[in-house]
Amino acid sequence: MDVRVVVAGAVFDRGRLLAARRSAPPELAGRWELPGGKVEPGERPEDALVRELREELGVEAEPLERIPGEWPLKPGLVLRVWTARLVSGEPRPLEDHDALRWLAPDETDEVDWLPQDRPAVGEAARMLAAG
């Protein structure tokens, strides 16, 4: 079976990490995630991330580096995460989310992350704290 990749962004701006609260589907609503979505066939993962952040948040972002590792979501779907820099725009929850928060490195435990996002969030917080 082909494995489909979901890309998500640890979006940094002014020393904070962006967290997004899902509004759907019902079993995920209310949990927090790193924003992103599925890579389309033939699409580069970094391009998919730029597209998803534009669609979901209305911002332009630049992928910086891959956070090592990948995390299974369900059979045939894995999560990969990149750090990203906010280039322009102020994120708004346009699609898939109903709230956003900017978290300082010592605040990243304050939201109820989707479990599969936690390892990448921990690593992103360490990278942010290290400057």
**Can you give the binding site for ligand CDP, defined by CB under 6 A?**
6, 8, 28, 33-34, 36-38, 73, 79, 96, 114, 116-117
Which residue's beta carbon is nearest to the bound ligand CDP?
A: 37
Min separation Cβ 62 and ligand CDP, Å: 18
Taking residue 119's Cβ as centre, other Cβ atoms within 10 Å add up to 17
Inter-residue contact 49 to 7 (CB < 8 Å): yes
| Closer of 94 and 131 to ligand CDP (Cβ) | 94
Min separation Cβ 11 and ligand CDP, Å: 11
CA distances 124 to 42, 44, 67, 95, Å, are 28, 22, 8, 23
Min separation Cβ 104 and ligand CDP, Å: 20
| Closer of 6 and 50 to ligand CDP (Cβ) | 6
